[in-house]
Amino acid sequence: MATNDCIFCKIVKGEIPNQTVLEDENFLAFNDINPARKIHVLVIPKEHYDSFDVIPPKIMGNMTAFIQKVASKLGIKEDGYRLITNIGQHGGQEVPHLHFHILAGEYAGRLTGEQLK
Ligand code: 5GP
Ligand code: ZN
């Protein structure tokens, strides 16, 4: 898709405001607009990738280190957290710019909230 239409690319460019948790040259962590848990942070690469399925493994390695820093900054390492990335339609992905959800601050619950039919 054209990255001009991507809401997370707009957040990276500062065209949509965000509550930043941590940022470096390549990655950005910000609060989810509709938090599902007490702490709900999204972590994205500044460069547009449609999903986890297409991110080069080397960049994913750097993103892993960044996510660990975000967890440190949030002070959630001891109690733990859930890290999720949704991929495509069956994964339930709504924003087609790779993002990891960090859910924390309370028990995240069982793996899936919706019953399979
Ligand atoms: P997905 O379903 O694609 O895995 O998750 C998309 C997430 O992006 C949702 O949790 C939704 O609340 C969040 N979101 C969508 N638009 C915005 C926005 O403009 N700002 C922020 N901070 N979060 C957003
Ligand atoms: Zn994008």
Catalytic status, residue 97: no
Tell me if 112 sits within 8 A of 45, measured CB to CB.
no
Q: Separation of 32 CA from ligand 1 center, angstroms?
A: 6
Asked whether 20 lines ligand 1 (CB < 6 A), one says no
* pLDDT tens-digit map of 82-91: 999 999 999 9
- Using CA atoms of 22, 18, 42, 60 in order, give the dihedral in degrees to the nearest 10: -60
Asked whether 86 lines ligand 1 (CB < 6 A), one says yes
* pLDDT tens-digit map of 40-67: 999 999 999 999 999 999 999 999 999 9
Q: Separation of 16 CA from ligand 1 center, angstroms?
A: 12
pTM for the whole thing?
A: 0.95
